[in-house]
């Protein structure tokens, strides 16, 4: 039923619950998991004194999140890949899912930016609206 699962991660509790569901489905269906984390844009800060340090910190935190998820999944998935991206989360996740031909996107219902979600619309809402594949939102 599912061959390629995109698991969107942001470090929130909902995201951690989504990881448990993705691991279980990958084991059940013999699916591969693509771990995806998108960190906020930094290009608009280019030239700022701390630009290099900021990019480095964001990449490092994102990679740590992906590595932790990979370790928690262990050998339950047929294959595990990672994608660490810069940019708006919803757009990044949708693009990866489309390019990699995902069967399923799994994500937490709320991320770390809940105030921003109230103003601009949540990442999960955008993904459920625009995704070309099935989307599972985990509470």
Enumerate domains of the chain plus CATH numbers: 4-138 (3.40.50.620)
Six-digit token string for 64: 């740590």
By DSSP bridging, strand 104-108 and strand 134-138 are parallel
Using alpha carbons, select from 109, 110, 18, 108 the residue that is nearest to residue 72: 18
- 50 compared with 120, residue with greater pLDDT: 50
Per-residue pLDDT tens over the stretch 12-63? 999 999 999 999 999 999 999 999 999 988 776 677 778 878 889 999 999 9
Using the Cα atoms of residue 33, residue 90, residue 41 and residue 58 in order, give the sign of their dihedral. Answer: negative
pTM, two decimal places: 0.89
Q: What percent of the chain has pLDDT over 70?
A: 89
Instruction: Name the DSSP class of 109.
Output: S
């Amino acid at each position: 039923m599912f061959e390629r699962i995109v698991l969107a991660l942001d470090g929130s509790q909902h995201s951690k619950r989504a990881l448990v569901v993705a691991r279980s489905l990958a084991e059940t269906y013999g699916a591969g998991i693509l771990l995806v984390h998108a960190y906020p844009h930094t290009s608009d800060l280019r030239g700022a004194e701390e630009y290099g340090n900021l990019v480095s910190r964001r990449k490092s935190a994102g990679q740590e999140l992906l590595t932790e998820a990979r370790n928690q999944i262990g050998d339950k998935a047929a294959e595990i890949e990672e994608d660490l991206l810069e940019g708006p989360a919803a757009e990044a996740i949708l693009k990866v899912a489309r390019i990699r031909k995902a069967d399923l996107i799994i994500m937490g219902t709320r991320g770390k930016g809940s105030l921003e979600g109230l103003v601009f619309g949540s990442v999960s809402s955008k993904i459920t609206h625009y995704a070309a594949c099935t989307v599972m939102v985990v509470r």
